[in-house]
Amino acid sequence: MATLALPKPVEDYLAAANAHDLDALIATFAPDALVNDARREFRGMRAIRRWLAEELIAAKVTKKIGDVREHYGEVVADVIIDGEFDRTGLPDPVVLTHYFTVRDGRIVRLIIILNESVRS
């Protein structure tokens, strides 16, 4: 359950991802944005567009928002992922932590990690 209101670019990113709308997705990013997905880095619009097309749109990935929190200006969201992708070795459900950095109405950095649960 979300505990923090999402910034508009993050809301727009999630809506576009679930609609499989590549142009709307890419519009949420700054021109020089950085995405790191599972320790793979994508810099700039061309690389991010290719990542979105090949790994989100083609696999019909959907994202359901879970817990959301703010940490030093970043939006940290636990997101349940579904779609047509290889689930070998992945937990069920697949929950990926998304770390969004937003500046001037655009996503400037997105880091996506499959975190392991740690007891505190």
Q: Which residues contact 5 (CB under 8 A, 6 or more apart)?
A: none
Q: What is the total count of domains within the chain?
A: 1
pLDDT band at 101 (very low <50, low <70, confident <90, very high): very high
Residue range of the domain that includes 107: 8-113
The Cα-based distances of 95 to 63, 79, 108 in angstroms read 9, 5, 22
Q: Please report whether residue 46 resides in a domain.
A: yes
Q: What is the CATH number of the domain that holds 57?
A: 3.10.450.50
Three-state secondary structure call for residue 20: coil
What pLDDT is stored for residue 5 in this prediction? 86
Q: Does 1 map to a domain?
A: no
Residue 66 covered by a domain: yes
Is residue 120 a part of any domain in this protein? no
**Confidence check: pLDDT of 2 > 50:** no
Say if 53 falls within a structural domain. yes
pLDDT digits (tens, 9 = 90+) for 42-54: 999 999 999 999 9
Q: pTM to 2 decimals?
A: 0.92
Quick one: pLDDT at residue 1? 44
In a domain, 3, yes or no: no
Assigned domain for 2 exists: no
Residue 108 included in any domain: yes
For 5-39, how does the pLDDT look when each residue is reduced to its tens digit (9 = 90+)? 899 999 999 999 999 999 999 999 999 999 999 99
- On the question of pLDDT at 3 being above 70, the answer is no
**pLDDT per position as a tens digit, 67-100:** 999 999 999 999 999 999 999 999 999 999 999 9
